[in-house]
Amino acid sequence: MTTRTLARHGGLFFEEFAIGDEVESVGRTITETDIVNFAALSGDWNLIHSDAEYSKSQMFGQRVAHGLLVLSIASGLAVRLGFMEETVMAFRGLEWRFTKPVFIGDTVRLRVKVQEKKEMARLGGGLVTFEMAVVNQRDEVCQRGAWDLLCKARGAD
Amino acid sequence: MTTRTLARHGGLFFEEFAIGDEVESVGRTITETDIVNFAALSGDWNLIHSDAEYSKSQMFGQRVAHGLLVLSIASGLAVRLGFMEETVMAFRGLEWRFTKPVFIGDTVRLRVKVQEKKEMARLGGGLVTFEMAVVNQRDEVCQRGAWDLLCKARGAD
Amino acid sequence: MTTRTLARHGGLFFEEFAIGDEVESVGRTITETDIVNFAALSGDWNLIHSDAEYSKSQMFGQRVAHGLLVLSIASGLAVRLGFMEETVMAFRGLEWRFTKPVFIGDTVRLRVKVQEKKEMARLGGGLVTFEMAVVNQRDEVCQRGAWDLLCKARGAD
Amino acid sequence: MTTRTLARHGGLFFEEFAIGDEVESVGRTITETDIVNFAALSGDWNLIHSDAEYSKSQMFGQRVAHGLLVLSIASGLAVRLGFMEETVMAFRGLEWRFTKPVFIGDTVRLRVKVQEKKEMARLGGGLVTFEMAVVNQRDEVCQRGAWDLLCKARGAD
Amino acid sequence: MTTRTLARHGGLFFEEFAIGDEVESVGRTITETDIVNFAALSGDWNLIHSDAEYSKSQMFGQRVAHGLLVLSIASGLAVRLGFMEETVMAFRGLEWRFTKPVFIGDTVRLRVKVQEKKEMARLGGGLVTFEMAVVNQRDEVCQRGAWDLLCKARGAD
Amino acid sequence: MTTRTLARHGGLFFEEFAIGDEVESVGRTITETDIVNFAALSGDWNLIHSDAEYSKSQMFGQRVAHGLLVLSIASGLAVRLGFMEETVMAFRGLEWRFTKPVFIGDTVRLRVKVQEKKEMARLGGGLVTFEMAVVNQRDEVCQRGAWDLLCKARGAD
């Protein structure tokens, strides 16, 4: 049995990601505050996010979290998993579907799975593609897709 | 000559989007405040965004704006263009590349072009795919890709 | 019939404002978050905005939005109408009455009407005075008054 | 000589305001953060506040603080003076001139003078009109005007 | 009888603090917004503050305000009392116990008592130790302890 | 050699903390934004944090970060280390010294060391006392002291 210590585990290097490896993040409750603060920061005050009266008459009957707010929070949940720390050099791209609305009071988690790897020696590492899914408290997938992260090779720093 | 008035022009309906039509948004300067506030809101405190000392020794030599911060701000710039107002029902998905870093003090604009349309009568409108590009003050493309928005058909409200 | 496109309509020049022309903005719901964030930003922590216990025993029986918060949000709603974009040079002054309280959960809109114009050639434009009113979801006027904006003349940029 | 203690002095009642009495607040430095946060909260992203490139070519050659941001901060400086605590029932109105721009890094103070009083027994107090001026670190008046506050009479609570 | 004026009373000098003197601050309601904003600013997203689902199954059955959020708000309540203005040079240390949880919707006040003084002439003043307690709307002590503030001597500025 | 995976390591249980074990967090740069946002959230607008003109003439010649801001950020850095996740039940108290000022642009890290343990079976775990120190980019200790955290025993959840 391994003795566990305070030691940070540190991010994984390109070589360490194993295809098929998966993990689920902790949760975070999406609050009205998050929606107001994201509308503020982004400038996206579309009425389905910011006008409770208008939203009553629309498709969902209530205000909806911005898709990009939930994606941004998912990115934070990913970072908190620790595997990116000091080893991810850049976010290179994503393909993403917003499949179900997230409402005030929902709690989301991120499911992460290593899907593909592609060495990019010239850049000192390689591209790791993750299959990502945001699920809510009823385990319904609300957003899903693939993220490409450029990760350092060991010793390439 | 048309007389221009205070009147809001309102969002465009699905039928009104013409393939190839394009427009460029106004600009917004990315500040240290935006980066700190986005790290806070998302929970993504990766060191390349939040540790100035560490960032000196990394690829870019300085702190970099989060890719998703710039994308979020781009979504706000799009909303400010007005064509989505009350006619966009949902953001359905995106394909996106982060091609160049955005630094503190850079000013970004969004270039929008109607790329494709697909009727979805059952949902009361259709999917409009936009070719989007975020450019900086030197007209360099920093992010680019396609966004799918579900837009209302005229009278389908 | 005019073909509508993505094109931004751009702000109106001084010559284009027609006395009597009017428009109403979209709405925005005033949230507890807005009140807390405005208390924070302004430093106005008066108890009728920030102490729910104290507020129970006061005139309105609950916390009230800061008058200047609602005015500030009204200014944002005005900007979102688009007619100021790149043509308003400065906010010169206002006369303003706070006539009814705005509570958490109320949704406000701004009514705008061109009241008066005064050429100021030396400054490259003129002063446009707007009759403004903030109304809530029951169409009650909560705030009203006049704003003076200095607007560019065409070609004076 | 009076012994000074920790005791809060509490707000002044209507009867206690003496016409001509004046005071100056402490200062607060207007930061880029304040401008970004106020643009966010209000939704006023006009380019003279948020686009550093655009602002170079405009009247002031740089970004300018929103007039209403400075007014809001002035209201907070007024509250910090203490004379409103639990005795001001409502802000009733203002007449206000924005006379000089406030830039990032300027430090503002508020000058307060009791100008006029009007009993309003039915409302349990009276209206106090204050002559207010916002000055910068060079003692230049940047904003000025009159605020009407409804103040409690002693024992009318 | 003393005539009360607008005049700021200003902070107390080291000589003016009397051992045993006490005061209670006004109140502030702790909102969900405060908790989200503090999690954001501090980076402390522990689940008992940010995951409503998880918190249901924990000791308190609901989300809890961060201890340091309440302490930070207590420091603001202390500042609003006015006795520190321009006379406190530095916060030197504290001993603090978090004795009861603070929940969303609770309203807290700070009780302040001068406990001890220690001249530090070399630093131009002295250390004042305050016995502090945060109480909620049911007068239960939620946090308590001692704060050491370095205060200016009269004329030492 | 252990194979490292995406797996979260999870917080440590009371039994797992070894006296003397130590770790250092990653860094975070303290920005003007942090100071403005903390003044806003806490309500502590003391002039040494918020008035750049005044601060020039004071002990440090410039604005200083609030001691409690740095402590709050330190708590976030501790949380990011991962050892508290789902195993820390409550923050019970601290003894803390603010020994050196932190300025805008400084980058701080937290040094953590397990100092003492005390079983509290009735509460389902025990108290772990940590020796904590906040250091800046020159490795100077700016704040230091002891934190008491109530940690779950294994299987006591």
Closest partner CB to D79 (pick from C45, C86, C101): C45
- Checking if the pLDDT of F1 tops 60, the result is no
pLDDT confidence band for E157 (50 / 70 / 90): low
Whether residues C37 and A32 touch (CB distance < 8 A) is answered with: no
- Checking if the pLDDT of E61 tops 90, the result is yes
Q: Is residue F136 within 8 Å of F30, Cβ to Cβ? A: no
pLDDT confidence band for E2 (50 / 70 / 90): low
- Best to test chain B binding among A8, A36, A38, A44 (most B CBs inside 10 Å): A44
Q: How much is the CA Rg of chain B, to the nearest whole Å?
A: 18
- Best to test chain E binding among F47, F96, F108 (most E CBs inside 10 Å): F96
Q: Is residue C144 within 8 Å of C133, Cβ to Cβ? A: yes
Integer Cα distance of D45 and C117 in angstroms: 25
Whether residues F94 and E93 touch (CB distance < 8 A) is answered with: no
Integer Cα distance of B76 and B74 in angstroms: 5
Region of C41 please: left (phi>0), alpha (psi -120 to 50) or beta: alpha
Residues on chain C touching B16 (C-beta within 8 angstroms):
4
Specify the amino acid at residue D3: T
Quick one: how far is CA E43 from the chain centroid?
Answer: 21
| Domain boundaries of chain C, sorted by first residue | 14-152
| Residue range D17-59, pLDDT digits in tens | 999 999 999 999 999 999 999 999 999 999 999 999 999 999 8
Residues on chain E touching D8 (C-beta within 8 angstroms):
23, 25-26, 81-82
Q: Between the CA of residue E157 and those of B145, E152, F51, what are the distances in Å?
A: 60, 7, 17
pLDDT at B8: 78
DSSP assignment letter at D64 = -
Q: With 0-12 CB in 10 A as exposed, 13-18 as middle and 19+ as buried, what is E14?
A: buried
pLDDT confidence band for B156 (50 / 70 / 90): low
Q: Please, which residues have CB within 8 angstroms of residue B19's CB and are 6 or more apart in sequence?
A: B114, B115, B116, B117
* Numbered residues of chain B with Cβ closer than 8 Å to any chain D Cβ: 26-29, 31-34, 37, 76, 80, 105, 107, 137
Integer Cα distance of D41 and D50 in angstroms: 13
CATH topology of domain C14-152: Thiol Ester Dehydrase; Chain A (3.10.129)
pLDDT at F2: 66
Q: Between the CA of residue C140 and those of A56, C29, E19, what are the distances in Å?
A: 20, 15, 54
| Residue range D124-137, pLDDT digits in tens | 999 999 999 999 99
- Best to test chain A binding among F3, F5, F129 (most A CBs inside 10 Å): F5
Q: How many CB pairs under 8 A join E and F?
A: 119
Handedness of CA A137, A140, A142, A144 (dihedral sign): positive
Q: ipTM value of the model?
A: 0.96
Beta-strand pair E125-135/E107-120? antiparallel
Chain F residue with the nearest C-alpha to that of A25: F8
Chain B residue with the nearest C-alpha to that of F37: B37
DSSP assignment letter at E123 = G
Count helices and strands in chain E by DSSP H and E runs: 4, 6
| Residue range F84-138, pLDDT digits in tens | 999 999 999 999 999 999 999 999 999 999 999 999 999 999 999 999 999 999 9
- In which residue ranges of chain A is pLDDT below 50? 1
Integer Cα distance of F76 and A150 in angstroms: 26
- Checking if the pLDDT of E109 tops 60, the result is yes
Chain F residue with the nearest C-alpha to that of A23: F7
Nearest residue to A11 (alpha-carbon basis) of A80, A88, A92, A119: A88
Q: How many CB pairs under 8 A join A and F?
A: 55
pLDDT at F119: 97
Q: Please, which residues have CB within 8 angstroms of residue F125's CB and are 6 or more apart in sequence?
A: F13, F14, F89, F150, F151, F152, F153, F156
pLDDT at E93: 98
The count of C-alpha atoms lying within 13 angstroms of the C-alpha of A23, restricted to the half-sphere facing its C-beta, is 21
- Checking if the pLDDT of D151 tops 70, the result is yes
Residues on chain C touching D92 (C-beta within 8 angstroms):
97-98
pLDDT at D157: 52
Over residues E41-56, mean pLDDT = 97
Q: Is residue C143 within 8 Å of C73, Cβ to Cβ? A: no
Whether residues D76 and C42 touch (CB distance < 8 A) is answered with: yes
* Numbered residues of chain C with Cβ closer than 8 Å to any chain F Cβ: 40-41, 43, 45
Q: Is residue E55 within 8 Å of E103, Cβ to Cβ? A: no
- In which residue ranges of chain C is pLDDT below 70? 1-2, 156-157
Give the global pTM. 0.97
Closest-CA distance, F118 to chain B, in angstroms, reads: 33
pLDDT at D59: 87
Q: The tokens of A122 are what?
A: 């010239």
Q: Is residue C59 within 8 Å of D152, Cβ to Cβ? A: no
- Best to test chain D binding among E4, E84, E112 (most D CBs inside 10 Å): E4
Whether residues C53 and E27 touch (CB distance < 8 A) is answered with: yes
Closest-CA distance, A81 to chain E, in angstroms, reads: 12
pLDDT confidence band for B7 (50 / 70 / 90): confident
Q: Which chains touch E (3 or more CB pairs under 8 A)?
A: A, B, C, D, F
Closest-CA distance, E126 to chain B, in angstroms, reads: 36
pLDDT confidence band for B42 (50 / 70 / 90): very high
